[in-house]
Amino acid sequence: MANLKEVKQRINSVMSTQQITKAMKMVSAAKLRRAQDKIVQMRPYSQKLTTILNNVSASAEGAADIVYATKRETKKVLLVPITSDKGLCGAFNTNIIKATNAAIKGQFAEAEVSILPLGKKSFEYYKKSSFTLVNSYYGVFQNLTFDTVREAAEYVMNSFVAGEYDQVFLVFNEFKNVATQIVRTEQFLPMAPSESSEVKTAETDYILEPSRAYIIEELVPTSLKIQFYKAVLESNASEHGARMTAMDKATENAGELLKELKLMYNRTRQAAITNEILEIVAGANALGGK
C-alpha cells in the first residue's frame, strides 16, 4: 500500500488538473457561444446564395460557361482536411484524419492526391507523409476572418481553373450541437448543383441587370468563397464544442479519481494509526512484563 505522502501528492496533482480542466471548459464555453452565433448566422446566407446561384445557372440557357463547374477525368485530387490548432478536444482531429485517409485509400486510390491542411494538427500529421503538401494556409485559425480564409479559397479555385486539380473535397466537422459533430466529406469543385434546384427554378423569376452572364460570373466565385468559409466556421464551432465536452468529462473523471484517492488516503492513514497503536501497546506490554 502507498504511503501517506505519495497519496497526498497524487491528490494534490489531480486537484490541480481538475482546476485546469474546469477553466478550459469555461473558456471553451465562451468561445463556443461566439462561434455558434457566427455559424448560425452564416448558414441561412450561404443557403440562400446557393439557391439563387442554382436558379440563375439553371435558367442561363448556355449564356455563361461556368469554369468552376467543369468536369474532368479524376486524375489529380486536392483534399482539404480542416482540423484545429490545439488538442484536448477528444476525437475531433482524429476523426478528420481518419476520414481523409479513408477517402485516399478508397474513393481516390487511383488518383494523385495532394493535401491542403487547415489547422496545425492536420499540417503536423501530413507533413510526415509522402503526399504533396500545400502548407501556406494551415494557420488560418490564428486569425479567423473571411479575408484570411478567402486567400485559401482563391488558391484552390485558381488551381482548379488552371487544371492543377480535377476535384477538390473539403473534410470537416459539421456542428450539430455541443456534444455532436458530424464528419463531412463534401465536394467543393467542380460545383455540384443542389438537389432541389430544379424544383425551385420554375418557381422563381429573376430580373437580372446588367446581364445573366455577368451576374453568374460575379456570383459564382463569391458563392464558392462563402461555402469554403462556412466549412471553416463549422469546424471552428465543432472544435469548441468537442473541447468543452472533453473537458467536462475530464473534470468528472478527476472528481471520481479524487474520491478513490481520498478513500485510499483515509484507509492508509487509519492503517498507519492502527500500527502505531499496536506498537505502543506491544511496547507497554513488554515493559509491563519486566
- Hey, which residues are catalytic here? 89
Write the CB contacts of 146 (distance below 8 Å, at least 6 apart in sequence).
225, 229
Write the CB contacts of 90 (distance below 8 Å, at least 6 apart in sequence).
242, 243, 245, 246
Handedness of CA 259, 261, 266, 271 (dihedral sign): positive
Cell numbers 446564395: residue: 49
Instruction: List beta partners, residue 133.
Output: 115
Judging by DSSP bridges, how do beta strands 76-81 and 167-177 pair with one another?
A: parallel
Question: What 3-state DSSP class applies to 219?
Answer: helix
Question: C-alpha dihedral over 113, 182, 228, 47, to 10 degrees?
Answer: 140
Question: C-alpha dihedral over 265, 266, 268, 270, to 10 degrees?
Answer: 160
Question: What 3-state DSSP class applies to 109?
Answer: coil
Cell numbers 478536444: residue: 89
Radius of gyration of the chain measured on its C-alpha atoms: 29
Helix axis angle, 212-289 to 92-105, nearest 10°: 130
3-state secondary structure 132-172: EECCCCCCHHHHCCHHHHHHHHHHHHHHHHCCCCCEEEEEE
Residue 115: name the closest of 171, 162, 65, 47 by CA. Answer: 171
